[in-house]
Structure 1
Amino acid sequence: MDGRGDLTDEEWEWLRPLLPEVGRRGGRWRDHRQVIDGVLFRTRTGTQWRDLPERFGPWKTVHERHRRWSADGTWERLLRAIRTKADAAGGIDWDVSVDSSTVRVHPHAAGARVAPPPIPAQKGGPESDRAGRDGAAGPGRPPGGGGEAGEQLGRSRGGFTTKVHPCADGRCRLLSLVPTPGQWGDSPQFEAVLEGVRVPRVGPGRPRTRPDSVSADKAYSSRDNRRHLRRRRIPHTIPEPDDQIANRRRRGSAGGRPTGFDEDRYKKRNVVERAIGRLKQFRGVATRYDKRGYVFHGTVIFAALIIWLRT
């Protein structure tokens, strides 16, 4: 019996051809749809893995599948596939926006070992494509080594937190994501977030990586960010803080020309805030319960995948 919030038949038929083969050497996968519904239930409700309803099968199976697919990039591969299909149909608004949001970390997410255990290779599954992931470093594993930085755990005014830095299209859907510890600044992650924008083509040709325009708030106003956008020939709308305006005027001609600012285009910047709001409708994203940084990254990517499927 289907439960509230489970995949619909239409959503399942779209995902089914992209999933690994059910049969594999040494055993069989449990039914993918049942397991994905279990991951969706946990992401949507934030419940503990052990408390998953029995209709999803053994909780260890659901947890292990989610952990494995977060590590080997399966969730990201599925998300790239639906973006590719949407872009081919002209369904992506390439006036993108960048922002960040802090996620409160539950106490159960602390205490992971410094060195995570190795992820076994998935037999019979998709090959791990290390190029063009939805982040700054490899399949399912955001930047950083061991410790708090590697697990994206930090302390800020909100307490024990993780920060997510998303890039959203004009229809409030995720194009890129970089997670960091909660105390890390927004501006230094700007280039990494834009480098994560990568939508493959249906036919031959390089993936699309350059938006039509980029909007961001004052936190991203810096010479380095503007230089990076000019180098890539990306129009941008980023307001200049008062202290930067005063410093530029004080330096006279050496301070350079005023930055361009399009008020009408800047009004669309709220799409990234609405995208963050959609992601945080999933309780497993609004509060981090995952110990491992790459598993939480996979949880956010999975939530973004469901949003793309349903919009």
Structure 2
Amino acid sequence: MPTVPISARHDLTNAEWDLLQPPLPAASPTGRPRIWGLRSLVNGIFFRVRTGCPWRDVPERYGPWWRVYHLFVRLRADGVWQDVHTRLLAQDQHTGQLSWEVSVDFTTTLGTYGSGHNRTAPPGAVIIFDVQLQGYSSLLSGGRARQTPSLQWY
């Protein structure tokens, strides 16, 4: 079994790269050739999203931080991350690896007005807590990987 350097253990495998590469922009036939490979820059994006570190702390082995950031912004503006997300969901659903079952633990998701979280809700309203870990979805929104609770009342 080949050993992978500890710093590269979360980089894209060849199979993952083959799935991800088609919607990514191809190199321009005219103009200056790329200095940094697209795969290493994408690995840098995934490193930043996975760790939540500042862009300037992306390791140099992925390329300059500003190149990684520029590619991330460009792909987000072009809708590539949304396309990748849709393609992966479709593929997983087609192969039967995606389950749409939802499990809800009401002891942690339901509260009442008196629970002290939202004092502007009307009396007697039920407050719904929606806490999601935004790891991969932060690619789509550009945010950091973190838990963000949102409160709604009905």
1:7 aligns to 2:12 (yes or no): yes
1:20 aligns to 2:25 (yes or no): yes
Aligned residue pairs total: 121
Counterpart for residue 120 of structure 2: none
1:71 pairs with one of 71, 74, 77: 77
Counterpart AA for 1:4: R
Counterpart for residue 155 of structure 1: none
Deviation at 1:218, TM superposition (A): 5.2
Q: Distance in 1 between matches of 2:72 and 2:102?
A: 29
Which ranges in structure 2 are unaligned for 5 or more consecutive residues?
Answer: 112-122, 146-154
Indicate how the Cα distance of structure 1 residues 299 and 22 shifts in structure 2: closer, same or farther if over 3 A, else same. farther
Counterpart for residue 97 of structure 2: 91
Say if 2:23 and 2:80, in contact at 8 Å, map to a contact too. no
Q: Distance in 1 between matches of 2:68 and 2:52?
A: 14
Indicate how the Cα distance of structure 1 residues 79 and 299 shifts in structure 2: closer, same or farther if over 3 A, else same. farther
Deviation at 1:88, TM superposition (A): 1.5
1:80 aligns to 2:86 (yes or no): yes
- Within a 5 Å distance, the mapping from 1:241-252 to structure 2 comes to 243=124
Indicate how the Cα distance of structure 1 residues 296 and 83 shifts in structure 2: closer, same or farther if over 3 A, else same. closer
1:55 pairs with one of 61, 64, 87: 61
Indicate how the Cα distance of structure 1 residues 299 and 80 shifts in structure 2: closer, same or farther if over 3 A, else same. farther
Counterpart for residue 129 of structure 1: none
Q: Distance in 2 between matches of 1:97 and 1:22?
A: 44
Which ranges in structure 1 are unaligned for 5 or more consecutive residues?
Answer: 99-216, 220-241, 246-271, 286-294, 303-311
TM-score (norm 1): 0.33
Say if 1:75 and 1:298, in contact at 8 Å, map to a contact too. no
Counterpart AA for 1:14: L
Deviation at 1:6, TM superposition (A): 1.5
When the two chains are superposed, the root-mean-square deviation of aligned CA atoms in Å is 3.6
Deviation at 1:35, TM superposition (A): 0.3
Deviation at 1:28, TM superposition (A): 3.6
Q: Distance in 2 between matches of 1:58 and 1:299?
A: 20
Counterpart for residue 297 of structure 1: 141
Deviation at 1:17, TM superposition (A): 2.8
Deviation at 1:95, TM superposition (A): 3.5
Counterpart AA for 2:57: D
Larger RCO, structure (CA 8 Å, separation 6 or more): 1
Work out the percentage of aligned pairs sharing the same amino acid. 32
